[in-house]
């Protein structure tokens, strides 16, 4: 089946079997290997991407379901060659070790921050409770997402102040 998916802002086409999972469409057809697979039971969330802006587990969506829709992967976080604040925060706060869960964590974190720019510990932990990390014990992932929120709020204030 021929499909067109807007991936990180650019239209991509593919001709795939309906059974191909979205995760494989992204990794194998579109060559974006930043999205990872870690389990068989929709449990770990390593494969998390944004579908029309909302976090989904791409191992539990058929690629054909993304036809005509927008997918954002970790590769789409950078804008104009600039790191997204959440990417910078993950490095600054040591929010990653092996890096395998990191793309999904950053995407979910970025969506949380859009709704809650200054999330509490609990809010962050609740938001990422569909995703597993084995290395960090979550402490610095939470710190990183909160730190990114602070950075983004400051930039927003700076931008607003300069306009005023």
Residues 145-164 that bind other proteins (CB under 8 A): none
> Shortest approach of other proteins to residue 141 CB, angstroms?
7
Which residue from 124, 147, 148, 152 is in contact with other proteins, where contact means CB under 8 A? 124
- For position 139 contacting other proteins by CB under 8 A, the verdict is yes
Per-residue DSSP letter, 83: P
Strand order in the sheet with 48-51: 10-15, 2-7, 70-72, 48-51, 54-57
What is the DSSP code string of 37-75? ---SSS-S-TTEEEETTEEEEGGGSBGGGGTTSEEE-GG
Q: What's the CA dihedral at 88, 130, 24, 82 to 10 degrees?
A: -10
> Shortest approach of other proteins to residue 152 CB, angstroms?
16
Residues 60-119 that bind other proteins (CB under 8 A): 60-62, 64-65, 73-75, 77-78, 83, 87-88, 90-92, 94, 96-103, 106, 108
Burial 30-48 (b: 16+ CB within 10 A, else e): bebebbbbbeeeeebbbbb
Between 98 and 159, name the residue whose CB sits nearer to other proteins. Answer: 98
- For position 15 contacting other proteins by CB under 8 A, the verdict is no
Residues 32-71 that bind other proteins (CB under 8 A): 32-46, 48, 51, 54-57, 59-62, 64-65
Which residue from 4, 13, 82, 137 is in contact with other proteins, where contact means CB under 8 A? 137
């Amino acid at each position: 089946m021929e499909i067109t998916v807007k991936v990180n802002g650019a239209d991509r086409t593919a001709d795939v079997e309906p059974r191909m999972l979205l995760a494989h469409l992204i990794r194998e057809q579109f060559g974006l290997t930043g999205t990872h697979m870690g389990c068989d039971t929709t449990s770990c969330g390593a494969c998390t991407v944004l579908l029309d802006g909302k976090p989904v587990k791409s191992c539990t969506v058929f690629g054909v379901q993304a036809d005509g829709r927008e997918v954002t992967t970790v590769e789409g976080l950078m804008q104009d060659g600039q790191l997204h604040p959440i990417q910078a925060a993950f490095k600054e706060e040591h929010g990653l070790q092996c890096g395998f869960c990191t793309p999904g964590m950053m995407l979910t974190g970025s969506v949380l921050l859009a709704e809650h720019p200054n999330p509490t510990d609990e809010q962050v932990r609740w938001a990422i409770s569909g995703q597993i990390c084995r290395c960090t014990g979550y402490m610095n992932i939470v710190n990183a997402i909160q730190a990114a929120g602070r950075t983004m709020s400051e930039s927003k204030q700076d931008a607003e102040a300069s306009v005023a």
